[in-house]
Amino acid sequence: LLLGTARPDDWRALHGTVLGNALEGIEIPEPETNEAIQILEATALPIEAQNKVFYDNVYQEFPVDPPVTIRYLKAIVGRSSMGDSMSNHREWKAYGRSVTDEELTHLFQGVDTMPEHSYIAATIARDPSKNAEEAVLEFFKKMRPGDPSTLENAKGYLTALLFVRRRYNLARVGRYKLNHRLGLDQPREYLVLSKLDLVKVIEHMILVNNGVEDPDDIDDLGNRRVKTVGELIQNQLRIGLLRMERVVRERMSTRDPEQLNPLALMNVRPVVAAIREFFGGSQLSQFMDQTNPLAELTHKRRLSALGPGGLRRERAGFDVRDVHHSHYGRICPIETPEGPNIGLIGSLATYGRVNEYGFIETPYRRVIRAVPNDPLYSEGKTLRQDLVDPRDGRMVAKAGTEISAKLAKEIASLPLREIPVRPMASQEILYLPADVEQKYTIVQANAELNEKGEFVHDRVSVRRGKDFLMGSIEEVDFMDVSPKQIVSVSAALIPFLEHDDANRALMGSNMQRQAVPLLRPEAPIVGTGMEFQAALDSGQVVIAEEDGVVVSVTSERIVLKGKGGERLYELRRFNRSNQGTCIDQRPIVEKGQKVRRGEVLADSSSTDHGELALGQNVLVAFLSWEGGNYEDAVLISEELVRQDMFNSVHIEKHEVEARDTKLGPEEITRDIPNVGEEALKDLDEEGIVRIGAEVKPGDILVGKITPKGETDLSPEEKLLRAIFGEKAREVKDSSLRLPHGEKGKVVDIKVFTRDQDRELPAGVEKLVRVSIAQRRKITEGDKMAGRHGNKGVISKVVPLADMPFLADGTPIQLILNPLGVPGRMNIGQILETHLGWAAHRLGFRALCPVFDGAREDEITAELARAWLADLAWKEITAGAWAWLGESGHDLSTIRDDQEARLLYLEPWLKDLQAEPSLKISLPATLTLGTKDGARSGGDQKGVQGERLHSDLVYARRVVLSYWLAEKGYRPDELLVFENDPRPTAETRQADALAREACLRFWLGQRGYPAPELSGPA
């Protein structure tokens, strides 16, 4: 069994060549080829080379079953004493080869080493069979008790059960896992079990039982694979084709061969039925969640342990549902349902992908500890150890030396292949599955690197297998590509995720998918940088497929002219999603605008200029308000309702069918009995409501009459019929009316008839589908949620006059309960609101990637700058009114503070610029990121007069810069704006100076003495 091939005679020849005259009474024929001799000569080589020679010589000749390796060949047939003891032992005869119990014991002697318990000896002792024939017959009787137990039947059954591809197919993934787990080198194309596989499996079982090797972890992702949609459909096709094959065989056996033709034999219905069964009834076939673009994207990246061949939620225990260390970078530990499916349904991590075998891989950067001895690679690197000339032992350079151009040339002259350098993260990306990753040491993505990519610290946080520990950089093999690779797309959209409790983060990532698309979406002030990519990959925004110029823009289409001619982009207008929300694409480009390939041409629902926009930026306060926000209730300002900030459009579809009844066909018509003209005013001549009509409960959408029988006539109808004859038609009104509680505008009508659409159900002659869009305002009872799992129901819409307000009179828009924060431990919302406040006041958008976001000291620095900006603005306003009074302006003609400031700003700036003792150095990126900042032109270090009047953010930044200069500070040392080119160390110094300046002014306002400035600020 172990050495079976298609050519047993050659094996006997090989056997005899090794044993000499050990097999008495057996005539050994000379080998017809020299393959056997070549194999024996190869035994002096290392194992790897032996295996190669063995395969090169034998596998090509005998492709039925790859034979065992040389090691086992020698173990079995390389013993001179075998012939002497053969007659004393039971023999196992198969394929012209005899194997004894001793040989079996010898075969596993390298692994079956426990003296107190030998697994092979114990198995042989318990085995009642004396030889292979008895064993295979016994096996056959147990498996097929009713069949005649002949040796031929038994051998055929065993072979078909394990060694025939049609009956037992490992598939490519099975062969890959066997080779990887058992250390085999079988060809990838060999998809059935070989005898060597069985030997190695037994070896492995012995090693596991002896505690030498660890057993497989069933929950490890190295042992769990993803069945993608293609494989699921392939399985259904296989079922359908097997059913069809059975039908074909039956027809071939029963019909006259002379009259057979393919049409008479083939019946595709079983295949069609199998496919329909999958799409119509499978647990894994679902309507796509289209509530918003994120819901759609997440649904496509969902991983389920349920379904056919999977688990049942009633039987699944804690171990299956729990987070496993192999999920790192593959399955999100945060995003999973809260109900009975918790842990059974997951989401693919941000950078995870499924490889050809169905295993989830995640990317890593390779860490290199040596570079080729070439100045091109070695220059600028830091030596990891002392470099010695191997020819004379001369010290060339000490460890820690940075390799200059001169030193690199000197080292290149040494007879060294590689130069040991300080470990550094390369740009080479490798995707690793969970089972391969186990043997490597991996450092986290936020380990600090210098500008050359070298690790700054000698000890870093690493993980090896399931252990997370502090390790030396000398041991590191790979580095994570990004801090967000551990979480899914939904979780990666939560800023300050690392400051939230996992349970609340789970709720936050799930509730983002439930966000209703708003009429006027707004991108978040505090985002994570994933918003654009998430919207792009959802497929809902329209992307330019090539560079070009916009030729035409309408609400329904965009025409782009590129090198290949004009390209038309049709927009989806007021389409209904599966959840009844509205998918509506809006163009964001103008005629004549130049666009590049990959740019966004049109927004969709819940996107703002190509970025995901699931909600609104509102001014919130954490305070108790007369018990109105008890138990997580939310209070909103009337302003949110009045400004339509949370308005949404929902589309409902209503259908009516005209059937062929026993009493006659139903008819869709405008001629409806006992209905006045007022009710028919919006119906066309066919009885269908017009597009654009405003409808309310009870209005007719589609007029339909149904014939009724004699028994259905009331006494009054019988009297009318007797008087007027056939004029009183025997029909009743069965029109489609708008149900109670709904109202809206008709946005789409579709009519299907039997002539045009053969897919209509039996008996249906005509089907009319009417879509009605309803605009809903936010109101009491609606659920609102933040991104940190902070959810609540609106208890009251508070009048604007009753809302709490800020010092400048600005009313709060939303009131949250402060008690909802400490118990839930989602501190991320506090950090988000503080940074959002500073960003709003300074006019920038903050990006805080998960696990790599703004630190607390950076947030306080931005708050300090925002406070200084407000103080400067306040002082300028007071100065403006004073200056206007002194200048003789009629103050009664000036409407508000804004007008007063605009009149005062330019004279004030000119006075400061003319001051000889005042040296003003503005921040280099003063205009970047502000409205039209990129297109403003002119000297960005100067002040643009037009923008002072048109751009409030720019005006506040200019005022802050000049005000600080007036107070004796250098603005470029305190202020940091978008895209600042300075290194991190300098921006951190600027943050510290901004906090110090804020504290000085605050102390001064309260009459406390602040330390004097010593030299430049």
- Model confidence over 879-892: pLDDT tens digits? 888 888 888 777 77
Whether residue 181 is found in the same domain as residue 52: no
Residues 966, 862 share a domain:
yes
Q: How far is CA 953 from CA 70, 506, 557, 809, in A?
A: 78, 36, 34, 20
Q: How confident is the model at residue 929, as a pLDDT? A: 42
Question: Residue 235 — very low, low, confident or very high, per pLDDT cuts 50/70/90?
Answer: very high
Last residue within a domain, chosen from 86, 107, 128: 107
pLDDT of 205 over the 90 cut = yes
Q: Under a CB-based contact definition with an 8 Å cutoff, are residues 90 and 29 in contact?
A: no
Q: What is the pLDDT of residue 663?
A: 83
In a domain, residue 797? The reply is no
529 domain residue, yes or no: no
Question: pLDDT tier at 712 (50, 70, 90 boundaries)?
Answer: low
- Asked if the model's pLDDT at residue 191 lies above 70, the reply is yes
Q: What would the DSSP string read from start to end of 512-547?
A: HTTPPPBSS----SEE-S-HHHHHHHHT-SEE-SS-
State residue 896's pLDDT score: 81
Q: Are 614 and 291 in contact (CB under 8 A)?
A: no
Least confident piece of the model among 422-436, 622-636, 640-654, 1003-1017? 1003-1017
Q: What is the pLDDT of residue 26?
A: 35
Side-chain half-sphere exposure of 100, counting CA atoms within 13 A: 15
Give the residue with greater pLDDT, 56 vs 239.
239
Distance CA(974)–CA(967), nearest Å, equals 13
CA angle 925, 927, 932 (to 5 degrees): 140
Pick the last residue of a domain from 265, 282, 299.
282
**68: pLDDT strictly greater than 60:** no
Question: Are residues 449 and 400 part of one domain?
Answer: yes
% of residues, the chain, pLDDT over 70: 86
**What is each CA distance from 926 to 270, 931, 958, in whole angstroms?**
70, 12, 8
Categorize the per-residue pLDDT at 905 as very low, low, confident or very high, splitting at 50, 70 and 90.
Answer: confident
Structure-token pair, residue 573:
């207008």
pLDDT computed for residue 799 by the predictor: 96
Of 40-49, 227-236, 451-460, 778-787, which gets the smallest average pLDDT? 40-49
Shared domain for 460 and 374, answered yes or no, is yes
Residue 12 has pLDDT above 50, yes or no: no
Of the candidates 781, 803, 798, 784, the one whose C-alpha atom is nearest the C-alpha of residue 638 is 798
Q: What pLDDT shows up at residue 84?
A: 32
H helices of 259-395, where?
262-265, 269-281, 293-300, 318-321, 375-378
Q: Is 762 exposed, middle or buried (0-12, 13-18, 19+ CB in 10 A)?
A: exposed
Q: How far is the C-alpha of 362 from the C-alpha of 352, rounded, in Å?
A: 5
| Closest CA relative to residue 502, chosen from 489, 484, 487 | 487
pLDDT for residue 912: 83
pLDDT at 705 over 90: yes
Q: Are 201 and 258 contained in the same domain?
A: no
- Do 883 and 938 fall into the same domain? yes
Q: Which candidate, 750, 749, 778, 773, places its Cα nearest to that of 695? A: 773
The pLDDT value given to residue 255: 85
Query: Which amino acid is it at 601?
Result: L
In terms of phi and psi (left: phi > 0; alpha: psi -120 to 50; beta: otherwise), the region of 631 is left
Confidence of residue 776 (pLDDT cuts 50, 70, 90): very high
CATH number at residue 691: 2.40.50.150
> Which residue among 37, 72, 107 closes a domain?
107
Do 191 and 258 fall within a single domain?
Answer: no
Same domain? 91 vs 177: no
Query: Given this model, what pLDDT does residue 1017 score?
Result: 43
Which pLDDT value is given to residue 113? 87
Q: What is the mean pLDDT of residues 371-392?
A: 90
Q: What does the pLDDT read at residue 240?
A: 95
| 128/87 same-domain check | no
Q: How far is CA 606 from the centre of its chain?
A: 19
* Whole-number pLDDT of residue 924: 65
Q: Which of 1010, 987, 989 is nearest to 999 (CA)?
A: 1010
Residue 814 located in a structural domain = no
pLDDT for residue 45 is more than 60: no
Residue 525 covered by a domain: no
Answer whether residue 787 shows pLDDT above 70. Answer: yes
- What percent of the chain is modeled with pLDDT above 90? 60
Instruction: Report the alpha-carbon distance of residue 287 to residue 803 in Å, rounded.
Output: 43
- Per the structure, the complete domain to which residue 749 belongs is given by 648-776
Residue whose tokens read 């009633």: 314
Q: State the pairing for strand pair 526-527/846-847.
A: parallel
Report the alpha-carbon distance of residue 878 to residue 856 in Å, rounded.
Answer: 33
Does any domain span residue 477?
yes
Q: What integer best gives the mean pLDDT of the chain?
A: 85
Question: Do residue 250 and residue 139 come from a single domain?
Answer: no
Structure tokens at 932: 């039209």
The owner of tokens 């995640």 is 362
Question: Which tokens hold the place of 235?
Answer: 């399985």
The pLDDT value given to residue 595: 95
Q: Is 835 within a domain? A: no
Query: Rounded to whole angstroms, how far apart are CA atoms 144 and 132?
Result: 18
What's the pLDDT at 938? 35
Q: Decide if 968 is inside a domain.
A: yes
- Name the phi and psi angles at 270, rounded to 5: -60, -35
Look-up of token digits 């929300």: 581
Which two tokens mark 35? 């393959």
Higher pLDDT, 506 or 115: 506
pLDDT at 27 over 70: no
How far is it, in rounded angstroms, from Cα 422 to Cα 429?
19
Q: Structure tokens of 123?
A: 């198995």
- pLDDT surpassing 70 at residue 934: no
Residues 259 and 198 in one domain: no
In this prediction, residue 1012 carries a pLDDT of: 66
Do 769 and 860 fall into the same domain? no
Per DSSP, the three-state class of 361 is strand
Write down the pLDDT at residue 931.
39
Give the CATH number for residue 451: 2.30.150.10
Q: How far apart are CA 751 and CA 767, in angstroms?
A: 6
Render pLDDT for 309-350 as a digit per residue (tens, 0 to 9): 899 999 999 999 999 999 999 999 999 999 999 999 999 999
User: Is the entire prediction scored with pTM above 0.75?
Assistant: yes
38 confidence band (pLDDT: 50, 70, 90) = very low
Indicate if the pLDDT at residue 581 is higher than 90: yes
Query: Each residue of 81-113: pLDDT tens digit?
Result: 333 333 333 333 333 344 678 888 888 888 988
Nearest alpha-carbon partner for 615 in 372, 828, 791: 791
- Domain total for the chain? 6
What pLDDT, on a 0 to 100 scale, did the predictor assign at position 168?
A: 85
Q: Is the pLDDT of residue 625 over 60?
A: yes
Residue 1005 in this model has a pLDDT that exceeds 90 = no
Answer yes or no: is 89 within a domain: yes
